[in-house]
Amino acid sequence: MNACFPTRTTGAADETPVDFGEFVRSRGGRGSIVAQPRMGFSDPNRMREGLIATKKADAQTVGTLTLDSYTRVGDHEAADTALREGIALNGYPIVNHPVETTKWVLDGVRDDDFPVQVRHGSATPLGIFAALVALNLNATEGGPVSYCLPYGRTPLQDSVRNWSQCCEMFTRLQEVGVEPHLETFGGCMMGQLCPPSMLVAISVLEALFFCHHGLRSVSVSYAQQTNLDQDVEAVQALRALCAELLPTVNWHVVIYTYMGMYPVTDHGCDRLLASAAELAVATGSERVIVKTVAESRRIPTIAENVAALEHAHTTARAYRPEIGGSTAELADSQTYQEARALVHAVLNLHSDLGQALLLAFKQGYLDVPYCLHPDNAGRSRSYIDGDGWLRWGEVGSLPLGHLVPRGRSRRITSSGLLEDLSYVRRKYDEEPSTRADRSVEVGV
């Protein structure tokens, strides 16, 4: 790309970037959140404009460079063609833009009070990580399972190998005094209808995988699901397992606003995002990935992203959860017991965590409901019960037989599945006057 950009005025993009994980931990949690958009534009001017607007929002924020679909699947030739022909992409093609262009995008924007994370979605991310290292961009996300199974047909074995190499490449930043940070996408598997214990287990396992390959700063994710009480239980289980298994690692929790069929009304979107912010505050989580009122219709504008950031911030600042059960009681829940059983079953398969993950999927110890990837057994099923909780309908070979009573198994129909997929949309699109909102009781 031969476009000209204004002369750089400082060397900020080349200076040692702040530790992303430590930044979030110091500003989020204890009733506060760090809010982050899912923003990405192919045009460098537009991308810079989006970062500046995020930085100026009336909220504690971090910036995002979300990459385009061509870059995610490694089709850099197609991305290059689009740039030459002036075709807008659905994200920022970091591999195709010259290093100097991306440095200009970040110059004077990224600093000690505003770190930037790269978000992508690739099972073959070697080119992406090479670009990150070249740019001293020290925060990104993904994982060998979570960025493989939902997104295509890349063999899991290849993804594990690719992510092993990328982690080791990323840790080279430590040699020049830069602390790399990796966020696992494991708590967002398939976006919806995955029982929370599986989300928690994969999130923890991918964080352990990162640490096994030299990362010292990680974040674990959890995507908002169908019931606030169950989500609280899940995040407390996630925090408990991280405390047990990552005691010396710099880690924090990031909450994703619901990843499935989004409400179509503005009030439904606002209420769902507010619920995600409340979940973060109730569980002491440090960061929230927001969604906008435009999610079900189109790619959101910069202004809509800023409005979502500020709405999450305002909600979090005003929300005061009622004190109910203790954190210890919540951590020792059904979700915790299931997630712990899954994690330890995998860890016992092989001393090398990458090999353990491969064996776990081969033997069905990990099995994601409704995931069509060839390396997923596809024998587990889930459903939403009458209280809005996600339950196991069929467990297949999951090591949960002692925790999930056989009597709970139920036949899943296509009509029932379609109804469950739209459950959250229907729930939040109802007029506020017809739905009884309530606060969750939780100990933080």
Beta-strand runs (E) in 293-388? 381-384
Taken in order 219, 223, 227, 228, is the CA torsion positive or negative? positive
Report d(CA 268, CA 270) in Å as an integer: 5
Query: Can you tell me which residue has the tokens 């995008």?
Result: 105
Q: For the domain that residue 29 is a member of, what is the CATH number?
A: 3.20.20.240
Total domain count, the chain: 1
- What residue numbers bound the domain in which 250 lies? 1-444
Q: What is the pLDDT of residues 3-59, one digit of tens each?
A: 445 444 444 445 789 999 999 999 988 889 999 999 999 999 999 999 999 999 999
- Quick one: 222 exposed, middle or buried, by C-beta within 10 A (0-12, 13-18, 19+)? buried
Q: Give per-10-residue mean pLDDT for the chain (444 aa).
A: 45 73 92 94 96 97 96 93 93 96 96 96 93 96 94 92 97 95 93 92 98 96 95 96 93 94 90 94 95 84 95 90 59 90 98 97 96 94 92 93 70 80 87 48 42
Contact 219, 251 (CB under 8 A): yes
> Could you give the count of Cα atoms lying within 13 Å of 255 in the half-sphere of its Cβ?
37
How much is the pLDDT for 4?
47
φ, ψ for residue 156, nearest 5 deg: -60, -35
With vertex at residue 272, the alpha carbon angle to CA 270 and CA 274, rounded to the nearest 5 degrees, is 70
Q: Which segments of 196-319 does DSSP mark as H helices, in order?
A: 196-212, 228-245, 266-283, 302-318
User: Residue 440's closest CA among 321, 331, 350?
Assistant: 321
Beta bridge partners of 65: 118
Which amino acid is residue 370, in one-letter code?
A: Y
How much is the pLDDT for 91?
94
